[in-house]
Structure 1
Amino acid sequence: MSEERRLDVLRAIVSEYVHTREPVGSKVIAQSHDLGVSSATIRNDMALLEEAGLIYQPHTSAGRVPTDKGYRVFVDRLSALKPMSAPERRAVESFLARSTDLDEVVTGTVRLLAQVTRQVAVVEYPTPDAQRLRRVEIVEMGPGRLLVIVITEAGLVHERIVEGLDDLDPDDLDDLRTRLNEAGEGLTSDEMRPALDALAAQAPTRVGIPVVVETLLDLMRPAASSRIAIAGISNLARGAVDFRDIAPVLDALEEQVVLMRLFAELDSDEGVRVTIGAENPHDALAQASVVTGTYGASDGPRAHLGVVGPTRMDYARTMSSVRAVAAYLSRYLAH
């Protein structure tokens, strides 16, 4: 019973400190949390928590503050996550319902996640090993210029302007568009290449079909590296008082390399993961906490998203938000 009560005291300290940013004393816990014991008993429990390295006293006569180890015990013992509010859920669902391509989904979602958590949000773009064609469009942009637009089954949109072609006939363009879609729909660049090579060899060279075919195949090749979208850096700057030195964290967010390495180290099936302070494998994040999750269709590309903030974080709310947004994104990609 005493061990469970000490965990209750730890939960109370974390909750109060996250809310007030002030060291927490036994009297505050006794008044605000119905633990059924006196302030003296709570003080004894706090002394034992301090001996265990879960809390510390920042200065004489002050209350107690959680350590990274204390936050870890708190996160590991979370019995429930705070659900997103109904307006927050509706905002995410409404946004995804009217989104038309993956770029719009990722950039909008990262802003929503930053607003909901009031932290820095990061969303990684899915980078499938092999992209499959949903549709190709060709738009005439002027004399001798075409815009080739490729839409993949994962919702990625790639486009490129092709120049230096002969004058183009609208009927030829319509025929070319139809032939390319018939030959490539649902296929990867490697799978569609034989049919497209044959099409390029047979078609009139004045339309520039070989150039368009090579452009399509090039746009369909897998991306060379991951891309990430970031929002809410101002949230971190406003909470600079929670860091001894915020500069390394801001540098890591600006350069993005640390974040891409962090995502690369994650297990895609791990669910929501929390790394706190020194648990982070990268020195730049040694003063921060990172809450990460994975999203994607079960049979398609997988990617990660997460939240970066101070260790003084509302973990239950943040973990719930990351989990919910990952689920919404997964459903979007599945459909």
Structure 2
Amino acid sequence: MSVSDDRRLHVLRAIVQDYVRTSEPVGSKALLERHQLGVSAATVRNDMAVLEEEGLITAPHTSAGRVPTDAGYRLFVDRLSAVKPLGRGERSAIERFLHGAVDLDDVVARTTRLLSSLTHQVAVMQYPSLSRSTVRHVELVPIGGPRLMVVLIVNTGRVEQRVIDTGRELAPDADLVADLRSRVNSVSVGLPLPSVPARLDALLEDVAPEDRHVATAVARALADAVAEQSEERVVLSGTANLARSGNDFPTSLSSVLDALEEHVVLLRLMGSMATLDGDQVAVSIGMENPYEPLRTTSVVATSYGDAGGLGVVGPTRMDYPQAMAAVRAVARYVAEILDG
């Protein structure tokens, strides 16, 4: 990169930072007053003219100020040397808040509230995907008479319970329950959920004929629990933050809100952006979004472990470094909790 290119990148970065902070078009005078650019006013004006010719900034009206374009935000994000980690206090607060969760639903609810609070954007989290979830344990608990509680525990922490009537008194058959528990776990633990029903069907063939109806009832209850898990869901928090940024959506806020209500759209969006390795964070800006109603927004997303995606949606006038750092940090803690 030449000296002039490097200088213009500094000017662009300053324009992005000022516009994100103030929501007002940025002029050369303001840049010189707020930033140590080390050049003359004429040089700054010339650099802004070049940036405008390259489509990186534009004049929203006849004022002397300029605002970043989608392409300008993209260059700004691409040239971030690294995502600055959150401060120790913020990281400690995230850990304390998330580790207070009592179950998966609470983890998801806390995560979206936390992300929305940290970024002042709309937080979106995909429930752990069925295709990526595996069986951690199956428990069978006699609860009196012929009734048996079947408990499916998934690696992401989700728990499904079913109470079945086995058709016979179980108290004298403690060995049967223990044997079924052992057999079921031996063929299902570690398996992806979609493959569990077929393995359970094969298991029934090895059960003694007089016990097969009990084993069949257990297998059906587990199949029902797996089917219940198959519904892909997303949870949102902080949609009111969009209204507070209403000036960033002069004509399209209602269409953005409608799009956020379409969970299928969000699932596809999270799925397409959150297939990343390690600490990578994906950023989709404005017209880069594949869904028309979201082309006035930016999406910052990543994956949490192998389970699903989470991120934030907000106006293109977004504090990208802070949003990226928050999304990455929260995803790390969520992955630790669900893997723990």
Instruction: Classify 1:264/1:54 alpha carbon distance in 2 versus 1 (closer, same or farther; 3 Å).
Output: same
Q: Structure 1 235/182 Cα, relative in aligned 2: closer, same or farther at 3 Å?
A: same
Q: Are 2:274 and 2:282, in contact at CA under 8 Å, matched by a contact in 1? A: no
Aligned to 1:258: 265
- Of 116, 119, 143, the residue aligned with 1:117 is 119
Gaps of 5+ in 1: none
Residues 254 and 313 of structure 1: CA distance in aligned 2, closer, same or farther (over 3 Å): same
Is residue 236 of structure 1 aligned with residue 238 of structure 2?
Answer: no
User: Do the aligned residues in 2 keep the contact of 1:272 with 1:319 (CA within 8 Å)?
Assistant: yes
Question: Are the counterparts in 2 of residues 289 and 308 from structure 1 also a CA contact under 8 Å?
Answer: yes
| CA distance in structure 2 between the partners assigned to 1:171 and 1:39 by the alignment | 91
2:322 corresponds to which residue?
317
* Offset, 1:306: 1.2
- Contact 2:283 2:299 survives alignment (8 Å): yes
**For 1:177 and 1:153, how far apart are their aligned partners in 2?**
23
Change (3 A) 1:213 1:272: same
Check whether the contact 1:110–1:122 (CA below 8 A) recurs between aligned residues: yes
Q: How does 1:82-121 map to 2 (within 5 A)?
A: 82-121=84-123
Contact in 2 for aligned 1:183/1:192 (Cα 8 Å): no
Q: Could you tell me how far 1:226 is from its partner in structure 2?
A: 2.1
Tell me how far apart the structure 2 counterparts of residues 171 and 324 of structure 1 sit (CA, whole Å): 52
How many residues are paired up?
A: 326
- Aligned equivalents of 2:167, 2:184: Cα separation in 1: 25
- More displaced 10-residue stretch of structure 1: 52-61 or 66-75: 52-61
Once the two structures are superposed, the pairs formed by residues 45-64 of structure 1 within 5 Å of their partners are: 45-64=47-66
Is contact 2:140-2:151 (8 Å) kept? Answer: yes
Once the two structures are superposed, what CA deviation does each residue of 1:75-112 show, in whole Å capped at 9, x if it has no partner? 11112323223232112222343434333222221221
Q: Which moved more, 1:274-283 or 1:252-261?
A: 252-261
Distance in 1 of aligned mates of 2:200 and 2:274: 32
- Measure, in 2, the Cα distance between the counterparts of 1:253 and 1:82: 29
* More deviation, 215-224/116-125: 215-224
State the TM-score, normalizing by the size of structure 2: 0.85
In the TM superposition, what whole-angstrom CA distance separates every residue of 1:204-246 from its partner, at most 9, and x where no partner exists? 96xx653233102332358434221111111122212211210
Q: Percent identity?
A: 46
- Residues 289 and 309, structure 1, Cα contact 8 Å, conserved in 2: yes
Does residue 286 of the first structure (1) align with residue 295 of the second (2)?
yes
Distance 1:81 1:264, change over 3 A: closer
Q: 1:183 to 1:103 in 2, by over 3 A?
A: farther
Q: Secondary structure in 1 aligned to 2:86?
A: coil
Which of 68, 81, 84 is the aligned partner of 2:83? 81
Q: CA RMSD in A?
A: 2.7
Q: Does structure 2 conserve the Cα–Cα contact (< 8 Å) formed by 1:113 and 1:322?
A: yes
Query: Is this contact kept in 2: 1:193–1:217, CA < 8 A?
Result: no
TM-score calculated relative to the size of structure 1 = 0.86
2:199 paired with 1:191? yes
Instruction: Please tell me the residue identity of whatever aligns with 1:178.
Output: A
Is the CA contact (8 Å cut-off) linking 1:128 and 1:222 kept in structure 2? no
Alignment-derived partner of residue 134 in structure 1? 137
Q: What is the alpha-carbon distance in structure 1 between the residues aligned to residue 103 and residue 207 of structure 2?
A: 29
- Matches of 1:146 and 1:230 in 2, distance apart? 36
Q: Which runs of 5+ in 2 are unaligned?
A: none
Structure 1 residue 274: Cα displacement:
0.7
Report deviation, 1:171: 6.0
CA drift of 1:275 comes to 0.8
Quote how far apart the aligned CAs of 1:50 are. 1.1
Compared with structure 1, are the counterparts of its residues 22 and 267 closer, same or farther at alpha carbon in structure 2 (3 Å cutoff)?
closer
In structure 2, the CA distance between the partners of 1:267 and 1:98, relative to structure 1 (3 Å rule), is closer
The 8 Å contact of residues 268 and 302 in structure 1, kept in 2 or not, is answered as: no
Distance change (3 Å), C-alpha of 1:27 and 1:232: same
1:286 deviates by: 0.7
Distance 1:170 1:97 in 2: 39
Q: Given that residues 147 and 161 in structure 1 are in contact (C-alpha distance below 8 angstroms), is that contact kept between their aligned partners in structure 2?
A: yes
Counterpart contact for 1:26–1:43, Cα < 8 Å: yes
One-letter amino acid of the structure 2 residue matched with residue 331 of structure 1:
E
